[in-house]
Chains A and B, each alone.
Chain A
Amino acid sequence: MIQVENVTKRYGSFTAVNNISFEIDEGEIVGFLGPNGAGKSTTMNMITGFIEPTEGKIIVDGYDISKKSKKAKKQIGYMPEGVPLYSDLTVKEFVTYMAELKGCERNTKKEKVQKVIEQTGLIDVQNKLTKNLSRGYKQRVSMAGALVGDPKVIILDEPTVGLDPKQVTEIRSLIKELGKNHTVILSSHILSEVSQICNRVIIINKGKIVAIDTPENLENKVIEDNSIYVTVEDPEDKMKNIKEKLDNVKEVKLVAENEDKTKKYMISGEKGIDLRKNIFEVFAKEGITIFEMKKADATLEDAFMKLINETQVENKQTKEEEKETETKDETDSENKKEEK
């Protein structure tokens, strides 16, 4: 549905997006994830044809966005960041205007507008001016503008920012609903949201793609060894020597001492082995009472932080290496001078 090939965007000497490529299939819900200023919005703006990439090409539904922009844009419904609306129009007028801009036929226009207004839950406010609406409703109006005219691709830039929890769940379920017969691209820096809604996640940092994968795979990637948290009551302090008694355990670490004299430990073992049964049996034998036992789940949050830190470390390393080689060169040349 969407092909992004070697796309780069530069602003003077600053590179906002650096040689990224990916493909999005029909019916997918894809999430762009990244810290602020990572290049999420820039990438989205390039897919919608709002800005032209410096290099590379973007194909939407078979049409090149730079060359056949009209046909390509017809397939896209876009909700920009910061929900821009025409403040002197009512909700209905705004959605109608968007329908007209998208070239809806006159006889079906009214119907389509009404359908979208119902879909986004705007019936009660449809005759209010958009400037008098609350943030959550504005967001929905902007979304309605993106949905009208049934585009094949829907691009939403931070669709749940600034909404209350109830609205967030509503918008999320709406996006899921849309994913059934549209291709949806959304950006977010809320990780749990992306892992809930999306089939695939594209993590961007500093203009580069760090990872493209399903949320589950990304989580699995960061789980290196499996750890378990146990909260125990251990008056005789038997936990000190517990490591020898357990099989396949690499480390037992005290994490916290609670006020009720229980202690929380982290027990990590080899990858792919479930320690829980063994822990339960051994602890029971030793007379240690288990209050709580929990598998330490790696969340998308961990994956995200890890991947982003990795790229930063890599960058640092390459820089340091460059420095080293430079200093080496200098010393080499100095040595040569001395030889002369």
Chain B
Amino acid sequence: MLAVLKKEFKSYFLSPIGYVVIGIFLFVFSVFFYLTTIQYGTVDLGSLYFYTALYGLIIIAPILTMRMFAEERKTGTEQLILTSPVNMVGVVFGKFFAALGVIIVTLLISFMYFFIVKYFGNPNIATVLVHMLGFVLVSSAAISIGMFASSITENQIIAGIITIAFLVMTLFMQDLNSIFANISIMNFYSDFPSGVISLREVVGLVSFTAMFIAFTIIVMQRRKLVK
């Protein structure tokens, strides 16, 4: 797993993708830093992380994940992985954590907002860490969907569109019927922004992520049968 993780993480920064992702993320962060924290004149960063997750992930998750398996399938490097003595579980987790790594790098940079606010007031570091923990969990869920989408096609664009469609649709579908609220990942990110770690949300996001990681593993393990 480590070999895949290391190579994938490095690949994000060998191509422009890593920088683009961090750039877009920080842009969205800064916009909402102005629209929330500064306009309301508070030291609370909860809405900053909430709105960035809400709008940022719709763009970021597909960019991070669309090439994961689709590109390997298209260029044929999939053969190299599938014929080497590695466990598919390790490969999938390696790729997953590499993408999550890019998000974590962004979050580390986002500490600057904390320090900016700290210059003017007295924000609570623990609360900000809770916001970030929630952010990591909600990003994991978004990445796992994107990863699954990437594993079922060899076309990156299609993988990206499936991811965007899922994230956008689940935002609006709950207005049609409240049942759809259960599959919207943002519904599991409402207590974190107020600085509360709720068991419901942690379990919800972790199991959501685990489910799509499991789907991806199954798809990849079945590849040799369906080809």
**Interface presence of B81 (CB below 8 A):** yes
A101 B224 Cβ-Cβ under 8 A: no
Query: What separation, in Å, do the CA atoms of A85 and B83 have in the docked complex?
Result: 14
In the assembled complex, which residues on chain B have CB atoms less than 8 Å from the CB atom of A51?
Answer: 224-225, 227
**Interface presence of A52 (CB below 8 A):** yes
Query: What separation, in Å, do the CA atoms of A48 and B14 have in the docked complex?
Result: 30
**Interface presence of B3 (CB below 8 A):** yes
Query: What separation, in Å, do the CA atoms of A97 and B82 have in the docked complex?
Result: 14
Q: Which residue of B lies closest to A157 (CB)?
A: B79
Query: What separation, in Å, do the CA atoms of A69 and B75 have in the docked complex?
Result: 24
Query: What separation, in Å, do the CA atoms of A221 and B22 have in the docked complex?
Result: 67
Query: What separation, in Å, do the CA atoms of A70 and B75 have in the docked complex?
Result: 24
List which B31-50 residues lie within 8 A (CB) of chain A: none
- Stretch from A76-84, A226-234, A267-275, A312-320 at the B interface: A76-84
How many A residues touch the partner, as a band? 20 to 34
How many B residues touch the partner, as a band? 20 to 34
**Interface presence of A176 (CB below 8 A):** no
Distance in Å: Cβ of A98 to nearest Cβ of chain B:
7
In the assembled complex, which residues on chain B have CB atoms less than 8 Å from the CB atom of A97?
Answer: 3, 7
Label chain B's interface by main secondary structure.
Answer: helix
Q: Mark B3-42, 1 if CB is under 8 A from A, else 0.
A: 1101100010011000000000000000000000000000
- Stretch from B84-92, B114-122, B179-187, B199-207 at the A interface: B84-92
**Interface presence of B77 (CB below 8 A):** yes
> Would A98 and B80 be within 8 Å (CB), given that A73-B85, A74-B85, A89-B14 are in contact?
yes
Distance in Å: Cβ of B21 to nearest Cβ of chain A:
16
A84 B83 Cβ-Cβ under 8 A: no
Query: B85 contacts which of A84, A85, A89, A102 (Cβ < 8 Å)?
Result: A102
Query: What separation, in Å, do the CA atoms of A81 and B227 have in the docked complex?
Result: 16
A86 B85 Cβ-Cβ under 8 A: no
**Interface presence of A35 (CB below 8 A):** no
B75 A71 Cβ-Cβ under 8 A: no
Q: Mark A45-89, 1 if CB is under 8 A from B, else 0.
A: 100111110000000000000000111011010101110111111
Q: Mark A78-116, 1 if CB is under 8 A from B, else 0.
A: 101110111111000100011011110000000000000
**Interface presence of A145 (CB below 8 A):** yes
List which A12-50 residues lie within 8 A (CB) of chain B: 45, 48-50
> Would A98 and B82 be within 8 Å (CB), given that A88-B11, A88-B15 are in contact?
no
B83 A50 Cβ-Cβ under 8 A: yes
Query: What separation, in Å, do the CA atoms of A73 and B84 have in the docked complex?
Result: 6
> Would A70 and B14 be within 8 Å (CB), given that A51-B227, A52-B224 are in contact?
no
18 new A-B pairs (CB below 8 Å) besides A50-B82, A80-B83, A88-B11? A45-B79, A48-B79, A48-B83, A50-B83, A51-B224, A51-B225, A70-B87, A71-B85, A73-B83, A78-B79, A78-B83, A80-B80, A85-B77, A89-B14, A93-B7, A100-B7, A101-B85, A102-B85
Q: List 7 A-B contacts (CB under 8 A).
A: A48-B79, A50-B83, A69-B85, A76-B83, A85-B75, A87-B75, A101-B81
The chain A residues found within 8 Å of chain B, CB to CB, are 45, 48-52, 69-71, 73-74, 76, 78, 80-82, 84-89, 93, 97-98, 100-103, 145
The chain B residues found within 8 Å of chain A, CB to CB, are 2-4, 6-7, 11, 14-15, 75-87, 224-225, 227
